[in-house]
C-alpha cells in the first residue's frame, strides 16, 4: 500500500492514495488495538477490510474509563493488559505502585513489546489497504482518567511534578513537555517506513474546563500553542512522509467547537471533527447531534459537510458517536444515514463499533448482519462510482415529500450519471424509531433516461424507474434509498 497525500482537484481538497482520490471510511473498534494486549487485532483487521473499511484509528498512550454512556471497549483495558510505549519497572514487593496497582513506568526506556505490536499492526493493515491514524495524545477529561496515564507524576519513577489534568495538553510543565516531544520523535521515527500512517497529535483537545484555585484555567490559546509545537515536531522529524490530521481546541464553558483555525492557520493536512452540537465553521454554528444520544440531525450534518467540503482542506468526521451506544439496528441506521450524507457531500467518516472488544474481535452477530452489511456496500459504492472524485450535483427537484437528499455527479462526458441519496430524516428514539414508509416525487431533467434504485442497507437493487413525459418519478422506501440517474 502506497502513501497518502492531499491535493486540490478542481475547487475541492481531496485525500489521495497513490495519486487517486479516496474516501476514508470506517466502523472501527474503540482505538485500543495496540495498547490493549488482550485484543486480537489480526482478526479485527481482516473483518474491517472485508466489510468495506479502509481506515482504523488507534491511540498510542491514552487509556479510558467506562461510564454510564461510554461502553466498555478496547481502549479501556484491564491494568495487566495495558501496553504503553514505556515499560513497567521491576518493582520489589514493597515498592510503591502506580495508581492502577501495577509497577510504575520508567519514562527513560521504551517497551519493545509495544513497538513490536505497533509495527505488526500497521504492517498488517497496509497489506489489507487500511490506513492507520495514530493518535499520540488525548484530552483526559477528568482526574480519574488522568490517574491512569503514565505521565501522571504518581505513575512513573522519573520525578515529574504534579499537575491538574487540564494542564496535560499544555506546555506549562517543561519536563512533561520534553517527555511528550520525545514520544513524538519515537513514534514518528518508528513509522518512517510505514506509508499507510496518518498522525494525529491529540484527540479532542479542549480548554476552559472549570478548575478550583490555585489552578488557573487552561485557555484555548495555550492548547493550540501546544498543538502547534507537536505538529512542528512531527514535521521536522518526519521529513514530509506522512499526513497530519487534527483540530484546534474546543471550549468547555460556554461550549463551542470551532474549526476555522483548523481550516486556515493550523498546519494540518486533514481537519478532524467529532460531530457535536455547537460546531462552528465560516460564521455558522451547526448542531450535529448530542454525544451518545440517538440524534439523527441529518439536515445539519448535510449542511455542515457541504460547507466543510468546500474548504481548503479535506474534512473527516473522525469519531461520530451520536448513536454508537445503541449497538443494534436503531443506532446503526442513524450512522448509516450520516455516513452516506458525509461521503456524498465530500467528507470522510468514522464511527465506533462498541461490539468489538477483547474476546470479540469480530463484534456481535447482529453487527455482522446489519452494520457490516451497509459498510460493505458503502465501501463498494465509493469504488464503483468513484465517489471520492465526484462533484456536487443539482439533482432532480423534489416536488412532493419530506426527505433529506444529497446529489453527487459521478459520470463522465457522454455518460452523465448522478447519485441521489434519500433519507427519512424523522427523529426517533430507541423505543420509537419513527421508521415507516416514505413516498416522494421528483422532477428530473429531460435527458434522464434511466433510474436505478438500491437499498443502502445491503446494496440490493430494488427497482428500475423511468420518468414520465414531464420528467417526474415517484419513489417509495423505508429508511433510505440510493438512486443512480443516467443521462
What is the per-residue pLDDT for 2?
67
Tell me the pLDDT band of 414, cut-offs 50, 70 and 90.
low
Q: How far apart are the first and last CA of the chain?
A: 36
If one compares 92 and 340, the residue with the highest pLDDT of the two is 340
As a whole number, mean pLDDT of residues 304-312 equals 97
Q: For residue 196, report the phi and psi dihedrals to the nearest 5 degrees.
A: -90, 30
Cell of 20: 487517486
From 424, 427, 401, select the one nearest 293 (Cα to Cα).
427
Go through 217-243 and write b for each residue having 16 or more CB atoms within 10 A of its CB, e for each that does not. ebebebbbebbbbbbebbeebbeeebb
Cell of 487: 443521462
Do 4-389 and 393-486 show the same overall fold?
A: no
pLDDT at residue 415 tops 80: no
Report, as an integer, the average pLDDT of 413-435: 86
The bridge status of strand 25-28 relative to strand 348-352 is parallel
Q: How confident is the model at residue 69 (pLDDT cuts 50, 70, 90)?
A: confident
Question: Which of 122, 84, 29 lies closest to 357 in space, CA to CA?
Answer: 29
One-character DSSP codes across 356-383: -BTTBTT--HHHHHTHHHHHHHHHHHHH
Per-residue pLDDT reduced to its tens digit, 393-410: 888 999 888 899 999 999
Return the CATH number of 393-486, one of 2.30.30, 1.10.1740, 1.10.3470, 2.60.40. 2.60.40
Question: Residues 87-145: pLDDT tens digits?
Answer: 999 888 888 999 999 999 999 999 999 999 999 999 999 999 999 999 999 999 999 99
What is the domain partition of the chain in residue ranges?
4-389, 393-486
Residue 146 has pLDDT above 70, yes or no: yes
pLDDT-derived band at 21, boundaries 50, 70, 90:
very high
Q: Is pLDDT at 413 greater than 70 in this prediction?
A: no
φ, ψ (nearest 5 deg) of residue 226: -65, -45
Least Cα distance to 342 among 378, 396, 295 occurs for: 378
**328 Cβ partners below 8 Å, 6+ apart?**
366, 370
Question: Residue 400, exposed/middle/buried by CB under 10 A (0-12, 13-18, 19+)?
Answer: exposed
Grid cell for residue 439: 413516498
Separation CA 469–CA 436 (nearest Å): 30
User: Which tens digit of pLDDT belongs to each residue from 441-471?
Assistant: 999 888 888 899 999 999 999 988 888 888 8
DSSP H or E segment with residue 221: helix 220-238
Residue among 100, 90, 26 nearest 63 (CA) = 100
Which three cell numbers, joined as nine digits, stand for 302?
448535510
**Superfamily, domain 4-389:** Glycosidases (3.20.20.80)
DSSP E strands in 410-471: the ranges are 417-423, 437-443, 450-454, 461-465
Rounded distance between C-alpha atoms, residue 111 and residue 421, angstroms: 48
pLDDT at 445: 85
Amino acid at each position: 500500500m502506497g502513501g497518502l497525500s492531499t491535493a486540490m482537484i478542481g475547487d475541492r481538497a481531496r485525500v489521495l492514495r497513490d495519486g487517486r482520490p479516496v474516501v476514508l471510511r470506517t466502523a472501527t473498534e474503540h482505538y485500543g488495538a495496540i495498547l490493549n494486549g488482550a485484543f486480537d487485532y489480526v482478526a479485527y483487521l481482516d473483518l474491517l477490510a472485508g466489510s468495506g473499511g479502509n481506515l482504523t484509528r488507534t491511540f498510542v498512550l491514552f487509556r479510558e474509563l467506562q461510564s454510564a454512556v461510554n461502553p466498555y471497549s478496547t481502549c479501556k483495558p484491564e491494568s495487566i493488559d495495558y501496553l504503553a510505549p514505556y515499560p513497567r519497572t521491576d518493582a520489589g514487593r514493597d515498592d510503591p505502585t502506580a495508581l492502577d496497582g501495577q509497577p510504575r513506568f520508567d519514562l527513560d526506556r521504551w517497551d519493545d513489546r509495544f513497538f513490536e505490536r505497533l509495527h505488526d499492526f500497521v504492517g498488517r493493515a497496509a497489506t489489507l489497504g487500511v490506513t492507520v491514524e495514530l493518535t499520540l495524545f488525548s484530552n483526559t477529561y477528568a482526574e480519574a482518567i488522568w490517574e491512569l496515564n503514565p505521565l501522571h507524576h504518581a505513575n512513573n519513577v522519573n520525578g515529574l511534578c504534579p499537575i491538574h489534568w487540564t494542564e496535560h495538553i499544555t506546555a506549562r510543565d517543561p519536563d512533561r513537555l520534553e517527555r511528550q516531544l520525545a514520544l513524538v520523535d519515537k513514534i514518528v521515527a518508528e513509522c518512517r517506513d510505514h506509508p499507510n500512517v496518518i498522525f494525529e497529535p491529540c484527540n479532542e483537545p479542549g480548554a476552559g474546563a472549570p478548575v478550583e484555585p490555585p489552578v488557573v484555567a487552561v485557555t484555548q490559546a495555550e492548547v493550540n500553542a501546544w498543538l502547534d509545537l507537536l505538529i512542528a515536531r512531527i514535521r521536522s522529524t518526519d521529513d514530509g512522509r506522512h499526513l497530519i490530521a487534527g483540530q484546534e481546541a474546543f471550549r468547555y464553558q460556554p461550549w463551542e467547537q470551532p474549526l476555522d483555525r483548523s481550516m486556515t492557520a493550523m498546519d494540518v493536512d486533514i481537519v478532524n471533527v467529532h460531530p457535536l452540537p455547537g460546531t462552528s465553521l465560516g460564521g455558522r454554528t451547526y448542531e450535529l447531534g448530542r454525544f451518545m444520544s440517538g440524534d439523527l440531525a441529518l439536515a445539519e450534518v448535510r449542511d455542515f459537510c457541504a460547507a466543510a467540503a468546500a474548504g481548503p482542506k479535506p474534512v473527516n468526521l473522525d469519531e461520530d458517536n451520536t448513536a454508537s451506544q445503541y449497538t443494534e439496528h436503531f443506532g446503526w441506521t442513524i450512522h448509516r444515514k450520516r455516513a452516506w450524507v458525509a461521503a456524498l457531500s465530500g467528507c470522510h467518516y468514522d464511527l465506533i463499533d462498541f461490539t468489538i472488544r477483547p474476546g470479540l474481535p469480530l463484534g456481535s452477530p447482529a453487527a455482522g448482519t446489519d452494520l457490516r452489511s451497509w459498510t460493505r456496500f458503502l465501501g463498494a459504492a465509493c469504488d464503483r462510482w468513484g465517489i471520492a472524485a465526484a462533484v456536487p450535483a443539482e439533482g432532480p427537484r423534489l416536488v412532493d415529500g419530506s426527505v433529506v437528499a444529497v446529489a453527487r455527479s459521478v459520470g463522465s462526458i457522454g455518460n452523465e450519471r448522478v447519485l441521489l441519496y434519500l433519507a427519512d430524516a424523522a427523529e426517533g428514539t430507541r423505543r420509537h424509531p419513527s421508521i415507516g414508509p416514505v413516498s416522494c416525487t421528483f422532477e428530473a431533467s429531460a435527458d434522464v433516461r434511466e433510474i436505478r434504485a438500491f437499498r443502502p442497507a445491503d446494496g440490493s437493487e430494488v427497482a428500475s424507474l423511468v420518468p414520465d413525459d414531464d420528467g417526474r418519478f415517484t419513489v417509495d422506501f423505508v429508511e433510505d434509498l440510493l438512486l443512480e440517474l443516467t443521462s
